[in-house]
């Protein structure tokens, strides 16, 4: 054979492997889900590539995944006849973790050290393949990329290095052979050679995989003779293609967990079918909990695109706007080219219509929760509110729907956030604007001198402390005809003397007279630092406060822009 080369895992990969193998993960069974999902991806890719590139000489007549057990060698093999990998692919995909955010992931696991966190994090970063080392002390991979001749053998004990070698005569596709660790109940290591165990794991995690997952087993026939028989272990049913009435809650949850790698049940499920000129099925989920990377720049979005059950792409940004990136699910469109690119999708008129409809559905589902179960809604808002508010900057069509969803802390009841609609319902007679104050945190806002007069006179003020709040309150002209008014800006005159109240008029004139010398003097003395010194009725206990012009940036926004280098 050819020479064996020994290469080192990238440092981060080594670190990750150590965590995967030694500490973090209690549920070892999921290694099989990860390997099957990789095999399934590889089959999707080959199918797609052969449809696009008719020159690709690949046999796609019997795409499948095979599980093979060798009790004597104590090995379990996951084999696929999918796209395969070239030598370069392997080094790049298996030897290194190029994905950004890995360092953050490692930090987080180290910090929390808890298995649940690890469980939710794993898979999101392509730790998938490495999960094999939870159950195997050696992994051998044989693979040949479709359209190429050279095959490759890869082997590692997951410690620090791997061996790589060219091999002739391999079929197209990939086989991953696990040299299993001894069964150890305490360590969560089941008998992964046992047929029942394998069946159970496949059923639990990979039932909706759209390729047959086959395994050979011994069966006793009627005469008592044993025969070998190959079974398909998964049902392969595409849940989204079935009528809603025929799908159970448990099936939805299972499907959601499979596509999201979440271990919780989804908070909301949206299942719809559109008929007419552009047919599609959509099955969308709102998770109960935000993923840890919701605010990382290259966090994955959750919607996959299929065309007539053929997987086309993950993370389909054309189908879901950025501010709904936490929504997971599947859209299966019937009349698209398999060849479709992300760029074309972005411009496609029909896809845009689908997206508008999906956005409406998702916001509608959130609205339903808000109407039916406030507590549950506030929980969801706690998870996704910050990102939903980004929609007020991005999606003018949805402003009205989004404003209905906004919940904010308020001086009305410090314990309980309010909606804008509730706020409007409580407005004082003659109050026109919705008052708010932004700031870095709640204590700062609540103790701001700007609050004094409003508190003293019983006006409710919204307390907005998310960085994005600074921006959307500027963009959104009004809610239901009521202007959003910062109490830190411009002239907010709370006690304008009532028409014909002569005593008050006289008092105001007297005060202006009294300070007529002081104000210009202060304005000059503070020139360069303030624009004007005014007499105010805002304050009750503080002597003075700094107020912005109506068109000025707020201090937090100023800081934000400065931090962004603008």
Binding site for ligand ADP (CB under 6 A): 34, 38-39, 42, 80, 82-85, 93-94, 126, 128-129, 174
102 contacts 12 by C-beta, under 8 angstroms: yes
Cβ proximity to ligand ADP, 139 vs 547, nearer residue: 139
Nearer to ligand ADP, 129 or 515 (CB): 129
Query: Could you tell which of ligand ADP, Mg ion, none binds residue 299, using a CB distance below 5 to 8 A set by kind?
Result: none
- Among Mg ion, ligand ADP, none, the one that 83 touches (CB under a kind-dependent 5 to 8 A) is ligand ADP
The residue with its CB nearest to ligand ADP is 128
CB of 104 to Mg ion, least distance (A): 19
Residue (44 or 390) nearer to Mg ion, CB: 44
The single-letter DSSP state of residue 83 is: S
Taking the C-alpha atoms of residue 318 and residue 309, their distance in angstroms, rounded to an integer, is 18
Stretch that binds Mg ion, among 120-128, 345-353, 466-474, 548-556 (CB under 5 A): 120-128
Nearer to ligand ADP, 157 or 478 (CB): 157
Structure tokens at 436: 């708010």
Between 82 and 291, whose beta carbon lies closer to ligand ADP? Answer: 82
| Shortest Å distance, C-beta 32 to Mg ion | 12
Q: Where are the beta strands (DSSP E) in 417-547?
A: 418-419, 434-438, 462-464, 478-479, 482-486
Torsion of CA 341, 344, 347, 350, to 10 degrees: -80
Of 415-454, binders to Mg ion (CB under 5 A) are none
Contact 233, 215 (CB under 8 A): yes
- Cα–Cα distances in Å, from 306 out to 237, 299, 438? 14, 21, 43
Tell me whether residue 85 or residue 420 sits nearer to ligand ADP (CB atom). 85
Nearer to ligand ADP, 260 or 410 (CB): 260
Q: Choose among ligand ADP, Mg ion, none what residue 115 binds, the Cβ cut-off being 5 to 8 Å by kind.
A: none
Pick 38 or 258: Cβ nearer ligand ADP: 38
Q: Which of 38, 75, 398, 411 forms a contact with Mg ion (CB under 5 A)?
A: 38
**Nearest approach, Cβ of residue 37 and Mg ion (Å):** 5
Site size toward Mg ion, by CB under 5 A: 2
For the bound state, the minimum distance from the C-beta of residue 238 to Mg ion, rounded and expressed in Å, comes to 20
Is the distance from CB of 369 to CB of 377 less than 8 angstroms? yes
In the list Mg ion, ligand ADP, none, the entry touching 488 (Cβ below 5 to 8 angstroms by class) is: none
CA distance 298 to 287: 19
Q: 3-state DSSP call for residue 528?
A: coil
Identify what 42 binds: Mg ion, ligand ADP, none; CB under 5 to 8 Å per kind: ligand ADP
Where does residue 343 rank: exposed (0-12), middle (13-18), buried (19+ CB within 10 A)?
Answer: exposed
Number of CB atoms found within 10 A of residue 269's CB: 19
User: Contact 261/289 with Cβ under 8 angstroms?
Assistant: no
Min dist CB 156 to ligand ADP, Å, is 13
| Interaction between residue 304 and Mg ion (CB under 5 A) | no
Least Å distance between CB 311 and Mg ion? 13
Q: How far is the CB of 10 from Mg ion (least distance, A)?
A: 18
Which residue number, 205 or 472, has a Cβ lying nearer to Mg ion? Answer: 205
**Residue of minimal Cβ distance to Mg ion:** 128
- What does the angle CA 57 – CA 61 – CA 63 come to, to the nearest 5 degrees? 100
The option from ligand ADP, Mg ion, none interacting with 82 (CB < 5 to 8 A, set by class) reads ligand ADP
- Least distance (Å) between residue 304 CB and ligand ADP: 13
Instruction: For the chain, give the number of residues.
Output: 566
Q: How does 469-500 read in b/e, with b if 16+ C-beta sit within 10 Å?
A: bbbbbbebeebeebebbbbbbeebeeeeeeee
User: For residues 156 and 174, which CB has a smaller minimum distance to ligand ADP in the complex?
Assistant: 174
Produce one character per residue of 105-119: b if its CB has 16 or more CB atoms within 10 Å, e if not.
bbebbeeeeeeebbb
**Choice from 95, 128, 158, 385 touching Mg ion (CB under 5 A):** 128
Q: Is the dihedral of CA 282, 288, 289, 294 positive or negative?
A: positive
Q: Which stretch binds Mg ion (CB under 5 A): 72-80, 128-136, 163-171, 174-182?
A: 128-136
Residues 6+ apart with CB under 8 A from 117: 108, 109, 292
38-50 exposure pattern, b = at least 16 Cβ within 10 A, e = fewer = bbbbbbbebbbbb
- Nearest approach, Cβ of residue 181 and ligand ADP (Å): 20
For residues 260 and 121, what is the distance between their CA atoms, to the nearest angstrom? 11
Structure tokens at 150: 């050279």
Q: How far is the CB of 258 from Mg ion (least distance, A)?
A: 12
Binding site for Mg ion (CB under 5 A): 38, 128
């Amino acid at each position: 054979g050819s020479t064996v080369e020994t290469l080192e895992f990238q440092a981060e990969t080594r670190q990750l492997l150590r965590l995967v193998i030694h500490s973090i993960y209690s549920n070892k069974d999921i290694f099989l889900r990860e390997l099957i999902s990789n095999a399934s991806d590889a089959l999707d890719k080959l199918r797609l590539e052969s449809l696009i590139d008719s020159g690709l000489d690949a046999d796609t007549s019997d795409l499948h995944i095979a599980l093979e057990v060798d009790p004597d060698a104590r090995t379990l093999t996951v084999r696929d006849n999918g796209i395969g990998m070239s030598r370069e692919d392997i080094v790049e995909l298996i030897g290194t973790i190029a994905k950004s955010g890995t360092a953050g992931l490692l930090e987080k696991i180290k910090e929390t050290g808890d298995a649940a966190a690890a469980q939710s994090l794993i898979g999101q970063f392509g730790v998938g393949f490495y999960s094999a080392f939870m159950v195997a002390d050696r992994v051998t991979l044989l693979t040949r990329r479709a359209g190429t001749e050279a095959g490759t053998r890869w082997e590692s004990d997951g410690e620090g290095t791997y061996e790589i070698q060219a091999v002739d005569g391999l079929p197209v596709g990939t086989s991953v052979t696990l040299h299993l660790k001894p069964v150890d109940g305490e360590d969560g290591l089941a008998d992964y050679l046992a047929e029942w165990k394998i069946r159970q794991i496949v059923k639990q995690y990979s039932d909706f995989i759209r390729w047959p997952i086959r395994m050979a087993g011994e069966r006793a026939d009627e005469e008592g003779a044993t025969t070998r028989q190959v079974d398909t272990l998964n049902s392969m049913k595409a849940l989204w293609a079935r009528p809603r009435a025929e799908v159970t809650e448990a099936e939805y949850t299972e499907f959601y967990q499979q596509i999201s790698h979440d271990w919780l049940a989804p908070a909301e499920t949206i299942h719809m079918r559109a008929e007419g000129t552009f047919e599609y099925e959509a099955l969308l989920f709102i998770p109960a909990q935000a993923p840890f990377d919701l605010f990382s720049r290259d966090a994955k979005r959750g919607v996959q695109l299929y065309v007539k059950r053929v997987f086309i792409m993950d993370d389909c940004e054309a189908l879901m706007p950025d501010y709904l990136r936490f929504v997971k699910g599947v859209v299966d469109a019937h009349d698209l080219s398999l060849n479709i690119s992300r760029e074309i999708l972005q411009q496609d008129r029909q896809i845009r219509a689908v997206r508008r409809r999906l956005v409406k559905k998702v916001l509608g589902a959130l609205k339903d929760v808000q109407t039916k179960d406030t507590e549950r809604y506030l929980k969801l808002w706690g998870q996704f509110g910050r990102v939903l508010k980004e929609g007020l900057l991005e999606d003018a069509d949805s402003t009205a729907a989004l404003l209905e969803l906004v919940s904010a802390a308020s001086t009305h009841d410090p314990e309980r956030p309010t909606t804008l609609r509730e706020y409007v319902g409580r407005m004082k007679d003659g109050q026109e604007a919705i008052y708010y104050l932004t700031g870095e945190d709640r204590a700062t806002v609540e103790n701001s001198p700007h609050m004094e007069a409003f508190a003293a006179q019983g006006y409710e003020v919204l307390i907005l402390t998310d960085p994005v709040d600074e921006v959307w309150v500027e963009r959104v002209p009004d809610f239901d005809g009521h202007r959003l008014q910062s109490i830190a800006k411009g002239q907010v005159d709370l006690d304008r003397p009532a028409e014909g109240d002569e005593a008050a008029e006289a008092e105001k004139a007297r005060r202006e007279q009294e300070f007529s010398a002081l104000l210009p003097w202060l304005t000059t003395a503070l020139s360069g630092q303030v624009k004007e010194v005014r007499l105010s009725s805002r304050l009750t206990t503080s002597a003075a406060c700094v107020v912005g012009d109506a068109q000025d940036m707020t201090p937090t926004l100023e800081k934000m822009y400065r931090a962004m280098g603008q």
